[in-house]
Chain A
Amino acid sequence: MTSRQLRKYCPLSEEGRGLLKTAMDELGLSARAHDRILRVARTIADLEGSAEIRPGHVIEGISYRSLDRKLWAR
């Protein structure tokens, strides 16, 4: 998915955006990781048959990126 498609198909609510921004700062995630979390959140929303990406989907997406931050913390 290109970044334009990402903006079109993966819109976030105010709350979701806030969550993702906090996670980026806390975990020190890159812009690529940001886009990839968004894609994972989109998949999770699809699996649940939800048209919009809800905060819970974003949280699950972020949770899949927390382990590497813990294990590869320098």
Chain B
Amino acid sequence: MPSAGLPKTVLVGLPELAVRESVHRIERALANLGYDRHPGRTVINLAPADLRKDAGGFDLPIALGLLVATGQLLPEQLREFATVGELALDGSVRPIKGALSMAMAAAERGIPKLLVPAANAREAAVVESVAVFAVGTLAEAVGVLSGQLPAEPVAPQIDELFARLNTYEVDFGDVRGQEFAKRALVVAAAGGHNVLMIGSPGTGKTMLARRLPTILPPLTPPESLETTRIYSAMGRLKPDEPLLATRPFRSPHHTISDAGMVGGGSTPAPGEISLAHHGVLFLDELPEFNRRSLEVLRQPLEEGHVTISRALASTTFPASFILVAAMNPCPCGYLGDSRHACKCAPMTIERYMGRISGPLLDRIDLHIEVPSVPSRNSRQRPTARAVPPCASRSAGRGRLQRHTIWAGEPPSQ
């Protein structure tokens, strides 16, 4: 609100740095587009006052608020709209993180229209109950709100997106030999069980793991929204792929920290296990992982979500995934291999195996050996027919179990 006093703009309501700087961006953007600024003192209040605000997405709503306060827009023109967007100095609107979450929040609150940066429009449009309008500049936003610029809401295209994006680049049928390991992966896919593969280098552990998502049941639209929301909040969606239509496959490097694995930061952000929500988390070279980053997996493996408590906030992120771990049988990798001699001392092997704790092993249902494949065997034709295209669908009565795993919530008894 403009009020009497020296010309100055004050921002209150616990703004973090990115929000405090927004005052300067907004002032420049308004000036460069030729809007009038109020000559007096302006106080901008962000409510609720006790919640820290940390995002660039407040620029556009604040700028629009200033235009209303100075009479350049009418309050009722904003009534049906929620708006979000970062401003550049020239008045163009830049993309933001979490557009999908904003659209879902608007839908929950019954706000019929949402104005977002053009780059985020398709991502937000996935929520069908909200009409999403895309704008490229502040001037365009004013035009859409005042009705001077005719605008059509962005079409959701969910079915079209699913049809286009619902393919994997790899196929379970590509794998030759390794029938025992493939059988175990089919069981894992059908029941959502965790797997540990032990075998010498080059026996196909990674190849097998990468193909697990392809035999999982297709991602349902509600599952897709849950996972996409996490990617949206992290700003990790690709422009041409505003929706995840396939199950995620995450394979973090073994140097990952525990915060990177389960999530963390002073305002908690999701980690790899949440990016793998409804999909597969692949940990190659399991004993090389920092012990802490493995032990923090225990709660999410049991509960399908993770709660991160920090000084500023406590947040729960979904993390329902199949854990696929792979490791060599010893540090040199060739213990039990018929073609190479193992050079490791028994003590070294024991120490290597000892890096994996009993409680973690206990949470992995399927432990399998992936032996080296004799070359004659691997030259056989791929056994594509040996595995049904979606093995888990062939199950009959196990619906309850799959339901519990894939939907996260057990049916009440």
Question: In the complex, what residues of A have CB within 8 A of residue B329's CB?
Answer: 71
B187 touches A9 (CB 8 A): no
Question: In the complex, what residues of A have CB within 8 A of residue B397's CB?
Answer: 45-46, 51
B400 touches A47 (CB 8 A): no
CB-CB under 8 A for A49 and B413, given A32-B362, A39-B365, A43-B191: no
The reply on A54 being an interface residue by CB < 8 A is no
The reply on B265 being an interface residue by CB < 8 A is no
The one of A2, A36, A45, A66 that contacts B365, using a Cβ cutoff of 8 Å: A36
Q: How far is the CA of A46 from the CA of B190 in the complex (A)?
A: 8
Question: In the complex, what residues of B have CB within 8 A of residue A67's CB?
Answer: 198, 367-369
Chain A, residues 39-74, CB within 8 Å of chain B (1/0): the string is: 110111111010100000000100011111001100
B396 touches A43 (CB 8 A): no
The one of A4, A43, A49 that contacts B187, using a Cβ cutoff of 8 Å: A43
Q: How far is the CA of A39 from the CA of B302 in the complex (A)?
A: 14
B366 touches A64 (CB 8 A): yes
Chain B, residues 382-413, CB within 8 Å of chain A (1/0): the string is: 00000000010011111011001000001001
Chain B, residues 162-179, CB within 8 Å of chain A (1/0): the string is: 000000000000000000
Q: How far is the CA of A65 from the CA of B184 in the complex (A)?
A: 12
Main SS class of interface, B: mixed
The reply on B353 being an interface residue by CB < 8 A is yes
The reply on B363 being an interface residue by CB < 8 A is yes
B196 touches A39 (CB 8 A): no
Q: How far is the CA of A45 from the CA of B184 in the complex (A)?
A: 13
Q: Name the CB-closest residue of A to B398.
A: A46
Q: How far is the CA of A17 from the CA of B305 in the complex (A)?
A: 32
- Number of residues of chain B lying within 8 A (CB) of chain A: 32
A72 touches B398 (CB 8 A): no
A46 touches B401 (CB 8 A): yes
Q: Name the CB-closest residue of A to B394.
A: A47
B198 touches A40 (CB 8 A): no
Q: How far is the CA of A65 from the CA of B395 in the complex (A)?
A: 23
- From 1 to 55 in chain A, residues with beta carbon under 8 angstroms from any chain B beta carbon are 1-2, 4-5, 8-9, 30, 32-33, 36-37, 39-40, 42-47, 49, 51
Chain B, residues 346-372, CB within 8 Å of chain A (1/0): the string is: 000000010010100111111111000
Question: In the complex, what residues of B have CB within 8 A of residue A39's CB?
Answer: 191, 193, 365, 401
The reply on B138 being an interface residue by CB < 8 A is no
Q: How far is the CA of A4 from the CA of B412 in the complex (A)?
A: 11
Question: In the complex, what residues of A have CB within 8 A of residue B366's CB?
Answer: 40, 64
- Nearest-CB distance from A58 to chain B (Å)? 13
The reply on B276 being an interface residue by CB < 8 A is no
The reply on B186 being an interface residue by CB < 8 A is yes
Question: In the complex, what residues of A have CB within 8 A of residue B398's CB?
Answer: 42-43, 45-47
CB-CB under 8 A for A30 and B401, given A68-B196, A72-B353: no
- Nearest-CB distance from B200 to chain A (Å)? 14
Q: How far is the CA of A5 from the CA of B413 in the complex (A)?
A: 8
Question: In the complex, what residues of B have CB within 8 A of residue A45's CB?
Answer: 397-398
CB-CB under 8 A for A1 and B410, given A64-B368, A67-B198: yes
- From 173 to 219 in chain B, residues with beta carbon under 8 angstroms from any chain A beta carbon are 184, 186-187, 190-191, 193, 196, 198
A68 touches B401 (CB 8 A): no
Q: How far is the CA of A2 from the CA of B304 in the complex (A)?
A: 13
- Nearest-CB distance from A51 to chain B (Å)? 5
Q: Name the CB-closest residue of B to A44.
A: B187
7 residue pairs bridging A and B, Cβ less than 8 Å apart: A1-B404, A2-B410, A39-B365, A43-B190, A46-B398, A47-B398, A65-B365
The 5 closest A-B pairs by CB, nearest first: A46-B398, A43-B191, A46-B395, A67-B367, A64-B366
List 15 additional A-B contacts (Cβ < 8 Å) besides A1-B401, A49-B394.
Answer: A9-B401, A36-B363, A39-B191, A39-B365, A39-B401, A40-B366, A43-B187, A44-B187, A46-B397, A47-B391, A51-B396, A64-B184, A67-B198, A67-B369, A72-B353
Name A's B-contacting residues (CB within 8 A).
Answer: 1-2, 4-5, 8-9, 30, 32-33, 36-37, 39-40, 42-47, 49, 51, 60, 64-68, 71-72
Name B's A-contacting residues (CB within 8 A).
Answer: 184, 186-187, 190-191, 193, 196, 198, 329, 353, 356, 358, 361-369, 391, 394-398, 400-401, 404, 410, 413
